[in-house]
């Protein structure tokens, strides 16, 4: 594929990774991803904005074969999927400097062993002239590492935000063509990567209000030539109140918790609540993360294993705690054989979730009439709480 022009002398020179199925040995990538790098050729200087994952360095270097000079490599983010090819680019262009935040420099020295004298560090709002094009650097920590910054190309009104606004989506479409598909991929990305940093994102979104942006060119997934699409989506995920939704991650070993769960899902639905049920033995955790973006309540379903929750359930609780969704209420349902500490252990695993814990329904063995009544009561409590909190 040839370098793809975005505006005069601004090109996409990235790599599409169709087959990648896991990120950070953790996050599922059902639709692959891309590592977008951009070449900006000014009348006097040339900049490369971000690079590509080391597994695709050869793709980037092929684009650079006929580029005689690069003066600056802009490192918006030090994670390897964008910074991992900087050493090869600096080697090819011995006079080039890597441009990043002070924290970015420290991380790149530590992670990629790039010599300190190859860096120029920039402060928030600082500019770099390429002649007829000007790059402005906007410090934006915690999207999603502490060193992250955004780069704004003033004359062309292009924002290069790296991971921020990105989506894991392999596509040959340079710009968004299928908004529904990109919305899902970008929401998944937000849920898995950005959601823990909602407070920082709020500030960054407000800061961007003062910029006129024609194109958002992230470092994963297609570019946005209608920036309002992704800006509004982010505003709703960050600022919007949670909805009348209960997320129900669960495991059942011998059918008792399954029976409770089936009854409980019906009881919630009968009360007008949307339920998103995830069997943790088979679920894609990205889908669970996405559901948590909008949910008011999470109810965890677990059997008892070795006196505690099933390990898959503990994993989901740990993940929810790390992702810090907006949840207002939490509860637990499940079954045990001869006692246990599933409730104490699970509630102890979610200190980040500032949610009210509603009385759990833990039963011995297979559910009976009074257990179903207890589940009805919990469903009624949740419906009442949702009304009181304004989500229903
Ligand atoms: Fe796409 Fe934080 O790296």
Q: Which two tokens stand for residue 182?
A: 């990109």
Extract the tokens encoding 231: 């800006």
* Residue identifier of the C-alpha nearest atom 1 of ligand 1: 163
Scanning 14-165, the segments in alpha helix (DSSP H) are 57-63, 80-83, 86-92, 102-112
- What are the pocket residues of ligand 1 if the criterion is a CB atom closer than 6 Å to any ligand atom? 77, 79, 81-82, 144, 163, 219-220
286, two tokens:
């990205």
pLDDT for 25: 81
Count helices and strands (H / E) in the chain.
12, 23
> Which residues lie below 8 Å from residue 232, measured CB to CB, with a gap of 6+?
none
C-beta atoms surrounding 90 within 10 Å: 21
And the tokens for 51? Answer: 């690079």
- Give residue 82 CA to ligand 1 midpoint distance, Å: 7
Between CA 40 and CA 72 the distance in angstroms is: 10
Bridge partners, 46 (sequence order): 41
Assign 28 to helix, strand or coil: strand
Residue 278 pairs in a beta bridge with: 249
**Which atom of ligand 1 is least distant from the CA of 219?**
1
Q: Provide the strand spans (E) within 86-229.
A: 97-100, 119-121, 127-129, 134-139, 149-153, 158-162, 215-218
Atom of ligand 1 nearest to the CA of 166: 1
Cα–ligand 1 centroid distance for 240 (angstroms): 25
Q: Residue with the nearest Cα to atom 3 of ligand 1?
A: 79
Helix (H, G, I), strand (E, B) or coil at 37: coil
Grouping H, G, I as helix, E, B as strand and the rest as coil, residue 288 is helix
Residue 118 C-alpha to ligand 1 middle, in angstroms? Answer: 22
Cα Dmax for the chain: 79
Q: How many other CB atoms sit within 10 Å of the CB of residue 360?
A: 20
State which ligand 1 atom lies nearest to the alpha carbon of 193.
2
Rounded to whole angstroms, the Cα distance separating 131 from 120 reads 18
Identify the CA nearest to 155 among candidates 214, 67, 223, 97. 214
Cα 355 to Cα 342: distance, rounded to the nearest angstrom: 18
Residue with tokens 């935000």: 161
Give pLDDT tens digits along the chain (392 positions).
899 999 999 999 999 999 999 888 888 899 999 999 999 999 999 999 999 999 999 999 999 999 999 999 999 999 999 999 999 999 999 999 999 999 999 999 999 999 999 999 999 999 999 999 999 999 999 999 999 999 999 999 999 999 999 999 999 999 999 999 999 999 999 999 999 999 999 999 999 999 999 999 999 999 999 999 999 999 999 999 999 999 999 999 999 999 999 999 999 999 999 999 999 999 999 999 999 999 999 999 999 998 899 999 999 999 999 999 999 999 999 999 888 899 999 999 999 998 999 999 999 999 999 999 999 999 999 999 999 999 99
Identify the bridge partners of residue 273 per DSSP, sorted by sequence position: none
Report DSSP state, residue 14: -
Q: What distance in Å separates the CA atoms of residue 243 and residue 392, rounded to the nearest whole number?
A: 7
> Can you tell me which atom of ligand 1 is nearest the CA of 148?
2
State the CB neighbour count (10 A cutoff) for residue 21. 12
CB 362, CB 342: distance < 8 Å: yes
Residue 58 has which token pair?
């050869």
Q: Name the pTM for this structure.
A: 0.95
* For residue 254, cis peptide bond before it (omega within 30 degrees of 0): no
Between the CA of 131 and the centroid of ligand 1 the distance, in Å, is 30
For 116-150, give one letter per residue: b (16+ CB within 10 A) or e: eebbeebeeebebebeebebbbbbbbbbbbebbbb
Atom nearest to 145 CA in ligand 1: 2
295 CA from centroid of ligand 1 (Å) = 26
Give the angle 79-82-83 at the CA atoms, nearest 5°.
70
73 CA from centroid of ligand 1 (Å)? 17
Determine the distance separating the centroid of ligand 1 and the alpha carbon of 79, expressed in angstroms: 5
């Amino acid at each position: 594929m040839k370098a793809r022009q975005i505006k005069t002398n601004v090109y996409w020179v990235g790599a599409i990774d169709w087959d990648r199925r896991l990120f950070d040995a953790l996050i599922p990538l059902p639709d692959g991803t891309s590592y977008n790098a951009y070449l900006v050729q000014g009348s006097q200087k040339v900049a490369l904005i971000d690079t590509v994952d080391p597994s695709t360095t050869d793709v980037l270097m092929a684009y650079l074969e006929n580029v005689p000079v690069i003066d600056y490599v802009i490192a918006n983010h030090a994670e390897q999927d964008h910074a991992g090819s900087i050493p090869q680019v600096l080697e090819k262009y011995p006079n080039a400097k890597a441009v990043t935040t002070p924290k970015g420099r420290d991380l790149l020295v530590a992670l990629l062993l790039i010599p300190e004298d190859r860096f120029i560090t920039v402060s928030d709002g600082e500019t770099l002239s390429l002649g007829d094009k000007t790059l402005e650097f906007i410090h934006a920590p915690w999207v999603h590492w502490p060193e992250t910054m955004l780069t704004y190309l003033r004359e062309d009104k292009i924002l290069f935000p790296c991971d921020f606004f990105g989506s894991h989506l392999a596509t040959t479409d340079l710009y968004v063509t299928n908004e529904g598909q990109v919305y899902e991929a970008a929401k998944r990305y937000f849920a898995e990567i950005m959601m823990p940093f909602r407070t920082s994102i709020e500030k960054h979104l407000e800061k961007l209000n003062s910029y006129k942006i024609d194109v958002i060119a992230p470092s994963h997934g297609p570019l946005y030539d209608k920036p309002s699409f992704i800006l509004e989506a982010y505003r709703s995920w960050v600022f919007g109140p949670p909805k009348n939704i209960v997320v129900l991650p669960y495991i059942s070993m011998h059918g008792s918790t399954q029976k409770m769960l089936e009854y409980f899902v019906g009881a919630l639905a009968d009360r007008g609540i949307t339920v998103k049920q995830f069997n943790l033995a088979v679920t894609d955790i990205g889908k669970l993360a996405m559901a948590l973006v909008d949910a008011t309540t999470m109810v965890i379903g677990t059997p008892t294993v070795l006196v505690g929750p099933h390990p898959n359930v503990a994993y989901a609780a740990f993940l929810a705690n790390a992702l810090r969704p907006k949840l207002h209420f939490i509860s637990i349902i499940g079954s045990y054989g001869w006692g246990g500490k599933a409730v104490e252990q699970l509630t102890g695993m979610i200190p980040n979730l500032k949610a009210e814990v509603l009385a759990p329904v833990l039963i011995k063995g297979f559910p009976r009439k009074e257990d179903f009544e207890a589940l009805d009561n919990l469903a009624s409590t949740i419906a009442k709480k949702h009304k009181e909190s304004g989500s229903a």
